[in-house]
A and B are shown apart, each in its own frame.
With several copies, the nearest count.
Chain A
Amino acid sequence: MNIHEYQAKEIFRAAGIPIPPGDVATTPAEAESIARKFGGTVVVKAQVHAGGRGKAGGVKLAKTPDEAREVAERILALTIKGLPVKKVLVTPAADIATEAYTGVIVDRASKRAVFMVSPAGGIDIEEVAAKTPEKILRHSVDPRYGLQTYEAMQLGFFLYSDVKQARAAAKIMQQLYSAFISSGGSLAEINPLVTTPAGVVVALDAKMVIDDNELDRRPEIAALRDESSEDPSEVDARNANLTFIKLDGNVGCVVNGAGLAMATMDLVKYYGGDPANFLDIGGSSNPEKVVAALRIITSDPSVKAILFNIFGGITRTDDVANGIVTATKLNPLKVPIVIRLTGTNEETALKILQENSFSAMTDMDEAVKKAVALATGGKAA
């Protein structure tokens, strides 16, 4: 789960990390009054779950409250990478002497949380990694001991030669690690970590991604979810316990299991079609999930055919068949549907479908070919 910059800043601040003040506005007038409260030049920053805000015009300086209002108005009208901007963060502009990067992620190779720090901050860290790898220090944290002071100091000295700044950075890294762990993060990032002309180390930005699997035991973090800033169809899917990702194609796919879902999409492409989505109905099926899946998929006007690919194991194929029947009675389909079912309770499922005038197949390749043909009007192979 992505959270907004202002939310990540609250978490970091609570962990003790020095972060300049800032308030959130949802209207230009609010932005103006916040700017007036702070006085001086402010930065107005789009709060949106997308990278590259700056390049998209989502981060602007404003010298006066009036200018803050104007700038906020422009930013609140933006849509960045398909996501509308609903909130802006207004924060006093800081004088910056140096910009560094510091972040921690869960790394699958070392099976640990790994810090990455670089004195070359403010820009895309992957670019730094690619072009000047010597400017990045990676350090994996032993989860049994946590980030020790000496380790944090090694990272701090990589950023700053001044011992006071190195100590300040080390402390921030220990605080970042503890915020990361206690929030159930999969990423926590400060970019840039700056020094002011007076030499003080301050976090100017904050980013955090939470492991969805942590949310059940962290209601206070789960409450940070901002559904207004997500794709509505993905919100709908999540609330129905489906994993759904919208794509640009014309064949809507409903599959059980993530691997089979990806393989089905690949096969659609292989036979000349384009998958309209990734959709995994998960292991323990029930008819309601299928109903939700069909509702979400059919709301996409570019879907020209629907493909079910179900390999019953834990999933009962008769549940899926019942779901298809229920859903299509509620909302009759406007596009053709191809159903492939095999495995647990296959015979019952096929019977249910036949009784309701659906035909079904048991071979995956044949089903995919047919769905692609229907979606493309027979133009693909």
Chain B
Amino acid sequence: MSIFIDCDTRLLVQGITGRDGSFHARQMIEYGTQVVGGVTPGKGGQKFDGKVPIFNTVEQAVRETGVNSTVIYVPPMFAADAMMEAADAGIPFIVCITEGVPVLDMTKVYPFVREKGARLLGPNCPGLISPGMSKVGIIPGGICKPGPIGLVSRSGTLTYEVVFQMTRADMGQTTCVGIGGDPINGTNFIDCLAAFEADPQTKAVVMIGEIGGTDEQEAAVFVKKNMTKPVVGFIAGQTAPPGRRMGHAGAIISGSAGTAAEKMEAFEANGIGVAKRPIDVVELLRNR
């Protein structure tokens, strides 16, 4: 089993004819994801790579293909509209890869998506992969393998690094989820931890956080209160200076809040194994 996506995922790709959208649509199809439709306004009626039907609007795509998930690769200024379009069309699972979405846009997208009852992953996230079943987003399939570990992360390439080291150590994954590095996103650590706790195949969970905000601290409390499965964690940004945005819009230490030390303490205090280096995740998992 897995969380959020599996063999029954029927995926729509919004922005399927764009540079990133077309590249990753092919990657996902190659990995085995059922890509059942794409959206590019003005290209409705055409087929992507001669196979995948393209629609002008998400509403048409939903009506004609029965998608149950969508992934968004549109430029940042159009991403909010794309997320809202997907939610309004009734798609229950929306993944937004786009980086650079204005935060004020997200203050509107967030309540909208919730009102429509959809789950949003991202924006500014690498998506997720349930190895051997389905991949939605941009996580390289080759570094993953099926197995009993769930992984949730705010980062992209750092996730690949950790997954890569886990796979090398023969620790496969149920699902690897990148929740994204923006200050306002649709799915947080707790959402994923709860899903992993409920997934019978997942035996242990890896959590990769970074500086900024208090999500990791709240997740740590959640772990202590609600989780029976072992959790190990890593926090990036121990050497980050306060007040500077470390690439991700959300990775910023405000005043004395959101430091790596604070988060690592919260992990320790709530029974989460703390990795000092990414590679230590493997060792910690072995000992749980």
Contact = CB atoms under 8 A, between A and B. Distances in A.
B88 to A, nearest CB: 7
B99 A243 contact: no
A267 B277 contact: yes
A280 B76 contact: no
Interface string B79-115: 0011011001000000000011111101110111000
A259 B238 CA distance: 11
A109 B111 contact: no
B138 A245 contact: no
Interface in A240-263: 243, 245, 247, 255-263
Name the residue among B157, B237, B260 with the largest chain A CB count within 10 angstroms: B157
B236 A106 contact: no
Interface stretch (A29-37, A86-94, A208-216): A208-216
Interface stretch (B28-36, B198-206, B221-229, B248-256): B248-256
Given A144-B111, A260-B161, A267-B277, A184 B102 contact: yes
A184 B104 contact: yes
Interface in B153-181: 153-161, 164, 181
A258 B104 contact: no
Contacts of B138: 313-314
B11 interface: no
A343 B246 CA distance: 23
A280 B247 contact: yes
A278 interface: yes
Interface string A262-293: 11011111100001001010011000000000
Contacts of A143: 104, 107-108, 111
Contact of B181 (A109, A150, A258): A258
A112 B109 CA distance: 11
Interface stretch (B1-9, B207-215, B265-273): B207-215
Contact of A343 (B140, B211, B213): B140
B240 interface: yes
Interface in B254-288: 255, 260, 276-279
B277 A270 contact: yes
Interface residues of B, number: 73
Contact of B108 (A145, A258, A268, A278): A145
A106 B76 contact: no
A66 to B, nearest CB: 38
Contacts of A184: 102, 104
A211 B102 contact: yes
Nearest to B212: A108
A351 to B, nearest CB: 19
Contacts of B59: 154
Given A149-B81, A245-B244, A313-B126, A266 B238 contact: yes
30 contacts: A113-B107, A145-B84, A148-B85, A157-B44, A166-B42, A166-B56, A184-B104, A186-B103, A211-B103, A212-B249, A213-B76, A213-B103, A243-B246, A247-B241, A257-B156, A257-B247, A259-B181, A259-B210, A259-B248, A261-B246, A263-B155, A263-B234, A266-B260, A283-B99, A311-B160, A313-B139, A313-B140, A315-B157, A343-B160, A364-B161
What are the 4 tightest A-B residue pairs by CB atom distance, in nearest-first order? A259-B155, A258-B247, A163-B42, A257-B157
Interface of B: 20, 41-44, 56-59, 76-78, 81-82, 84-85, 88, 99-104, 106-108, 110-112, 126, 138-140, 143, 153-161, 164, 181, 183-184, 208, 210-214, 234, 236-241, 244, 246-251, 255, 260, 276-279
Given A217-B77, A261-B246, 16 more contacts: A113-B107, A143-B108, A148-B85, A149-B78, A150-B85, A157-B56, A181-B104, A184-B104, A213-B100, A257-B247, A259-B158, A260-B160, A266-B260, A312-B140, A313-B160, A342-B164
